[in-house]
Copies of this chain bind each other. A is one copy, B any other.
């Protein structure tokens, strides 16, 4: 048991939760290592939502609200850490939710789907087809889900897939703690924040912003600004870390 007053309580709980989901097969070994990379970058932004990330989260909400067909693409780590938050965002944004796994087996898709459903998410089901310009199982998605979407929210996505979605003309919102990852660079908008902080912020913004504000927010979208702002936070942290 981690004491709730531990300064890094949230981070340690997330780590335990992922390890336990790995034992159940929802999360892969590769997913655990990817989570560790995220933890390191989160540490460098002080394990809090920065001002620029909060703005990016409002822009993300505006993009989802103005979309014709928004889809949230959920992988094992996202389901393990944030099934409830996905349910909340789905309700606020009317987005479809599709399970899309890097290490895809039908058994894992089913496990992740059930985990999401038990948290109140309405998960798109159907027969996946090789519709993405990627090789093998990674090309699979649902025709009425990601394939037809104009805007896709990809929390914790890998670089190839993010680039493929952008190449198909979609607006891609990534949530990625590494502002230098291929995903972060390729996305239309990258929210550099930790998943379980970012999703509720996007949900709250979906409920708050008016159509006029949404248009202004999207007009101000400067992807590179958000990446630079995150890098500046990290540099500032490293500069004073040993003081």
Contact = CB atoms under 8 A, between A and B. Distances in A.
A124 interface: no
Contacts of A128: none
Contacts of A37: 36-37, 39-40
> Oligomeric state, in number of copies?
2
B32 A33 contact: yes
A23 B32 contact: no
Helix, strand, loop or mixed for chain A's interface? helix
A41 B39 contact: no
Contacts of A36: 32-40
Contact of A33 (B19, B28, B238): B19
A2 interface: no
Contacts of A30: 15, 19
A235 to B, nearest CB: 5
Contact of A231 (B19, B39, B238): B238
A32 to B, nearest CB: 4
A211 interface: no
A33 B178 CA distance: 15
A167 interface: no
Interface string A32-52: 111111111101000000000
Contacts of A35: 33, 36
A71 interface: no
A20 B43 CA distance: 27
Q: Lowest 7 CB-CB distances: which A-B pairs, in order?
A: A36-B36, A40-B40, A19-B29, A32-B32, A33-B36, A37-B40, A36-B37
